[in-house]
Structure 1
Amino acid sequence: MELKEIRYLFHKSQFDGISIYTWALAVVRLGWGDLKYNYDHVEIEFVDRYLCFSSTLRDKSKGVRFSPTQEILKNPDRWETIVTWVTPKMERKLFQAAQGEVGKGYDKLGLFTGFFLLAPYLQNDKKRYCSDIVGWLAYIAKQLKKRYWIVSPRRLAGLMAKKHGRPIPLTEI
């Protein structure tokens, strides 16, 4: 059976508010292992479809959207990836699940509830942030053992690395 490639793309953080926040969140959670992953954004790439999926406020986006891979990866040296393989049936399931989320707004409040460990109570599934939506798809794809309510790009990379190894520079693929 021919498998479909799915990439989890992690954007290397520059010194910005998100990197400071996710660093502080890792410290509060005592997630020391997550500190070695310095990412500020995550996308899931449907390789055969040449599409990336996430939630963002960048590039005129106001939440959950698909974008052509070439638009997202304009600067491949800023990205690292974990490559996974799924059955065609699972790839379709993931893509359909993603399609059902398109148009939802960006969850600014949900993004910051993790710091206070309130995400299970305050997170709004009508809005999503990047690592929440990509982590949810990783759970559907059986790449994560459970759905994590408090997940940053940094933590998602750490969780995925436990199964697949450390993310590698996109330029090495």
Structure 2
Amino acid sequence: MSNAKVLVLLGSLRKESVNRQLAELATDVAPAGTTVELFDRLGEVPFYNEDIDNDDAPEPVRALRAAAAEADAALIVTPEYNGSIPGVLKNAIDWLSRPYGNSAFAGKPAAVVGAALGQYGGVWAHDETRKSFGIAGARVVEDLKLSIPAASFDGKHPRENAEVVSDLRDVVEKLVAEVG
């Protein structure tokens, strides 16, 4: 789909994280006519609390939901923390899944990629993120996977690794192709 808008949710809050670099690279490798936008405010989103989930929800929550509603697809870029999904990302998924039955990503395609320490590159976190996002209403494209061992970057930016650039381009192109 031309003119598709892909929202990127980043599971790392660190400014110099490899996953942030991958999110930025996704913007560079997106197909012509595609907008890839990083929602860079997950650190401002309060923990999900049904008591404050109302018409006057906190502004960062409203901004997150608006960005998700405007997007045609989601690309989640995340590390693995203690063998699982980072709390900031899980919290965002919880907010986006509400109100129940009316998720901001209902039926929209989503893919999960990222890098992490260890030889499997965050596979456990990526699997759990796909599961949570699917339960929250997104149409997770299970075939779109990219889990990269962070050591493979050897301190360099991911854009300096031709295989990573090619693999990420492939994921973004296929995700955009899933937009209906």
TM-score, normalization by structure 2: 0.32
Larger strand proportion of the pair: 1
